Structure 1
Amino acid sequence: MHLLFLSRPAPGHLYPTLRLAEELGARGHRVTFASSDPYLDEQAEAGVRPIRFGRNERRLLETSMLGVVDAVVADPRTAAVATDLARAWDVPLLVAGENLPSSPYGWPHERAYESYVFSIPGTRGTVHNTWRRHGERPVLLVDGPPIGPLVRAFGETPWQVVVSDTELPHADVFLTDGRLAAVSAGLRAGVPMVLAPTTAEEVAHAERVAALGVGTVVTALGDTHAEELRDVVEHLRFDEPTRITAQWLRELVTAEGAPARAADRVTELLATPPLTQAA
């Protein structure tokens, strides 16, 4: 089959779906990988033809370079345009992303797309991940919550507080608000989490992470005393059952999102008519 991949650069990774495209190309499919200027990596492996769509993905409708397309695989950032392309060509659409899929383990999972493929990006194409741990100081990674309470809680401690979500491999503890993208990243990295949710959806995600045994839910950070927050973070840093469980889940997640498994999922979805389009 001829598969058209659409992918935009993502924080920390140039192409979230490039490894999946290359796996499908290695299996004999014809794969065209379309991304935006100036980021396209022209060193894709054999079986994958890269093309640029500039700043407007809809230009792909006007090009004669593609030929007949049998299915479109998009990342969430291009899903809306990909839906239009798939409808115009009357072909199936799949969305491949970094958020976790549904699982018997009950972790928070992607619900926006019925035809969804979980794919972990590789280390190629890293664009925003230049920070590295300095010395032996512990690292608290923060993504989401206001950082004011952190200045008071950790300003004069050995902790390095890093505000980002792309440095997770270097973190000892992850403080986040419970957004799906954030908790998916935390589970992929195997890092214990402190969760400070503010919406009903974030609360549900945070409670699931806590039930898995890899996180602690706190109230609004403004109402959490500095000493209490430090105690929670220090506990997660050293608590052996939490760290063992986090690494066990990381192994499960890594296996689920590996290129071979993700490619199997694409094959399964395309072989199951009628294929549901993105919601």
Structure 2
Amino acid sequence: MHLLFLSRPASGHLYPTLRLAEELGERGHHVTFASGDPYLDELAGPGVRLVRFGKHERRLLDMPALAPDAVVADPRTTGAATDLAGTWDVPLVVAGQNLAESPHGWPSEQAPEPYVFTIPGARGKVHNPWRRHGRRPVLLVDGPSIGPLVRAFGDTDWQVVVSDTELPHADVLLTDGRLAAVSAGLRAGVPMVLAPKTAEEIAHADRIAALGVGKVVASLADAHAEDLRRLVEHLRVDEPTLATARRLRELVAEAGAPARAADRIEELLVAPPLARAA
């Protein structure tokens, strides 16, 4: 098959689906990896050609040689990919780094198109990567609604990093329960404190707590500084929680491995065939 991957780089110029594209190229498929990143200069593996489309994905329609048998989008390019797949009358699959449904009961992506979970690769030009300073513990804070909680750690030994990207240095993740954040936390094997607000965030937080790798703060009003610090410190050193997080990290890595994701792509596109994009 000729597969067109449509990608927008994530924060730090990370290409979540490039490793998956390379796996499919190694299997003999012809893969075109198209990105809007003007700095795209990766050396992709055999069978993968890199193409820049600039600011507008529809420029790809002016390249007749690109007409694919199927389009694989990441979540950031799903809208444009649906348009392109419809124009070419080919199937569309979404592949991303948020978790897919599994028998393990973790929060999962609810995508309108067939969805494949893939572990992102550390590829691309990462600008000003953060580094741990000394041996102080690191609290990663992710989510616009939990800014007030950060003040609880102002006079402590904790290094607080406010970010929307996964950091391998984190000892604990403080998040509102968005799927992208909890997916990153499970991928990294990091215990979580969750302060959800929306119904979706509450559902994700409850799942994480049930898995045994996080604790839910009922509301911001209930999150007193002393209690929050005590909870975060407990999760940092609690061996049952850490052991469960490590076990789930292994399961997540297996579920999103390039070979597993490529198997799923082939399964979706070959047997049975997907319905054409609308």
Normalising by structure 1, what TM-score?
0.95
Alpha-carbon deviation of 1:112?
1.7
Asked if 1 retains the 8 angstrom alpha-carbon contact of 2:13 and 2:124, the reply is yes
Alpha-carbon deviation of 1:84?
1.1
Kindly provide the amino acid, as one letter, of the partner of residue 43 in structure 2. Answer: Q
Map of 1:243 onto structure 2? 242
Kindly provide the amino acid, as one letter, of the partner of residue 184 in structure 2. Answer: A
Alpha-carbon deviation of 1:13?
4.3
Task: Name the SS for the 1:219 alignment partner.
Answer: coil
Map of 2:36 onto structure 1? 36
With over 3 angstroms needed to count, the CA separation of the structure-2 counterparts of 1:129 and 1:159, relative to structure 1, is same
Task: Name the SS for the 2:71 alignment partner.
Answer: strand
Map of 1:2 onto structure 2? 2
**Equivalent-residue separation in structure 1 for 2:95 and 2:166 (angstroms):** 22
> Aligned-residue CA RMSD in angstroms?
1.6
Map of 2:116 onto structure 1? 117
Map of 1:253 onto structure 2? 252
Map of 1:97 onto structure 2? 96
Asked if 2 retains the 8 angstrom alpha-carbon contact of 1:99 and 1:109, the reply is yes
**Equivalent-residue separation in structure 2 for 1:278 and 1:16 (angstroms):** 23
Q: Deviations over 1:38-97 (max 9, x none)?
A: 13234111210111101000111122231x410000101111111111111111100000
What percentage of residue pairs aligned between the two structures are identical?
74
**Equivalent-residue separation in structure 2 for 1:175 and 1:278 (angstroms):** 38
With over 3 angstroms needed to count, the CA separation of the structure-2 counterparts of 1:146 and 1:159, relative to structure 1, is same
Map of 2:228 onto structure 1? 229
Give the number of aligned pairs: 277
With over 3 angstroms needed to count, the CA separation of the structure-2 counterparts of 1:204 and 1:129, relative to structure 1, is farther
1:87-166 equivalences in 2 (<5 Å): 87-128=86-127, 130-144=129-143, 145-151=145-151, 153-166=152-165
Instruction: Structure 2 unaligned segments of length 5 or more: list them.
Output: none
With over 3 angstroms needed to count, the CA separation of the structure-2 counterparts of 1:23 and 1:163, relative to structure 1, is same
Q: Indicate the larger mover: 208-217 or 129-138.
A: 129-138
Map of 1:55 onto structure 2? 55
Q: Deviations over 1:171-206 (max 9, x none)?
A: 000000000111001000000000000000000000
Normalising by structure 2, what TM-score?
0.95
